[in-house]
Chain A
Amino acid sequence: MATTIDTIYTIWLREIKRFLKSKSRILGTGGQPLIWLAIVGVGFGSAIGVLAGGVSYITFMAPGIIGMTILFSSIFAGINVIYDKQFGFMKEILVAPVSRVGIVLGKIAGSATVSLISAITVLVIVILVGIIPVSSLTVAGLIEAVVFMVLTAAIFVSVGLVIATSINNMEGFQVIINFFILPLFFLSGALFPLTDAPLWMKAVSAVDPLRYGVDGMRGALIGTAAASYPLALDFVIILGVAVVLIAVADFAFRRMQAK
């Protein structure tokens, strides 16, 4: 029998193979964030200028766009589950003598890896064109940033999976995701600092996990002066949310009957 590790690896491998075969997905996940940076970053940047702490707007926004990359590509990982249900491959997986948690963790690992590839691509480009100055980077900071990327990806992949287990068609999934995704994005502080935001907005953004992911990346890549919370707090919160949501995804997956 396959061990849980074998199962995770197998499911992970399949996600990666599928991603590498799909050129549109590769281009889409890398291209969209760069368009945002070019248009919103440059446009708002010229209107807003330099923010508190001496950070230019486009630099402030760069970790936010990496967060966006992870949010969008992770949450749409749920599409793969719906695809598997519709095209029957889910039955092939569910009838195998493998642990259910292995299937879930494999799915999460595979989709999170794909998100991570996109996010790191954006990060490299952002560094290469000088949006994030090399002077503010440290090895420790880069490692911390990747840790935040991984956890953020795990969170939103899990959210996508949970939604996908209870929905059977692409359209329904898109509707639900589109409803949630923009508030999650705008309230995360990815595009604008929330320091001067009204109290209600601060309150709502406090429950947006992306907030802590983006804040952590900002602290790790640009410096703690640009972040709202201490790095350690961001880390503890994001780790806790990731663990809870992975558990929820596992539960949702077990409950799902293969269609």
Chain B
Amino acid sequence: MDQPDGKYSIVVEHLVKKFGSFTAVNDVSFKVKEGEIFGLLGPNGAGKTTTISILSTIVNLTSGKASIYGRDVVHEKDAVRNLIGIVFQDPSLDDELTGRENLDIHARLYGVKGKAKLEAIDRVLKLVELDDKANIQVRAYSGGMKRRLEIARGFIHDPKVLFLDEPTIGLDPQTRRKIWDYILHLNEREKVTIILTTHYMEEADELCDRIAIIDHGKIIKVDTSEKLKDSLGGDVIKIGTNKPKELVALVKKKKIAVSAMEHDGTVEITAKDGSKALPRIIEFAKGAKIDIEYSTLKRPTLEDVFISLTGKEIRDEQASGADQMKQKWRARGR
């Protein structure tokens, strides 16, 4: 009964969640492999937290099916709860208590007792480097320390699956990098399957084995970061020249690129292997007496992928406004 679905630790099929008439999660299906770091990447309001909340038994689904290691999130709530750890998007610590007391309560709730409990607490405190701050009230922690404590708490009971809902939102770059290190460590050393949500491209890129791009409650595409980027056809080369039309014609004639076009006086070329294509283009241009003023080569980012799939940037005006609001709320709560 441990692994009825072979190598999958999470299986989600046609998941729907409605709040009244509003559909927050709209027919979402995906499978997460055992030991994988799986990312849900999408803008504010995409339905990431709602999906995580359903998988972690906190919110009831409207229709569809979801299971963790074969245990149904609706009908086998306790079994699922026993298998998972979660770091919520919003703060969830008792800040009147100390860091150690927060971990102690958590361990007790998960049936970790006695010596095993004390060892587990020391182990996680050390990993997130809070051992020297363990006995002060959480109220006096910085935002980053609180987040680290929450991550420590999330895996104190050795969960098989760890949910991280925007683990680094509102944190400075150094703290963010540190948290990424803990996440990678947990995944490699403790073999925890991790499902994380984010709307930071770098975070998805850095951490996730596979990324699901989600928008308006729908999963648009699931793949590795590399393959998602490759799906755009290749690298983007921009060339400034005195004869853009001639250059476009030349590139097309020589079949160096997937596509080439003129855009505001510069030539934009998409090529499979940009770093090899660029010198060849420059050489051909020389031979054809076309002057090249400058050139840039860019590997497409997840942002480019997102734009091509949804027709908008992940962080539009509205979203970053909401993000700021959320950070303010966070600062207040923390």
Q: Please list the residues of chain A having a beta carbon within 8 angstroms of any beta carbon in chain B.
A: 1-3, 6-7, 9-10, 13-14, 17-18, 21-22, 87-89, 91-98, 257-258
Contact = CB atoms under 8 A, between A and B. Distances in A.
Interface of B: 56-60, 78-79, 81-82, 84, 86, 88, 90-97, 101, 105-106, 108-111, 137, 153, 333
Contacts of A3: 111
B111 A18 contact: no
Contacts of A96: 81, 106, 109-110
B92 A91 contact: yes
Contacts of B97: 14, 17-18, 21
A53 to B, nearest CB: 46
A65 to B, nearest CB: 29
A104 to B, nearest CB: 14
Contacts of A6: 108, 111
Contacts of A98: 109
Contacts of B84: 95
B109 A18 contact: no
A10 B137 CA distance: 19
A2 to B, nearest CB: 4
29 contacts: A2-B108, A2-B109, A2-B110, A2-B111, A3-B111, A6-B111, A7-B109, A14-B97, A18-B94, A18-B96, A18-B97, A21-B96, A87-B91, A87-B92, A88-B88, A88-B92, A89-B92, A89-B94, A91-B92, A92-B153, A93-B109, A95-B58, A95-B81, A95-B86, A97-B79, A97-B109, A97-B110, A257-B59, A257-B60
Given A1-B82, A14-B94, 8 more contacts: A2-B111, A6-B111, A87-B91, A88-B92, A91-B58, A93-B109, A95-B58, A257-B60
A2 B110 CA distance: 6
Nearest to B59: A257
A92 to B, nearest CB: 5
B93 A89 contact: yes
Contacts of B93: 88-89, 92
B108 A95 contact: no
Report, nearest first, the 4 A-B pairs whose CB atoms are least far apart: A88-B92, A97-B81, A96-B109, A10-B108
Nearest to A93: B109
B90 A13 contact: no
A29 to B, nearest CB: 17
A111 to B, nearest CB: 15
A94 B108 contact: no
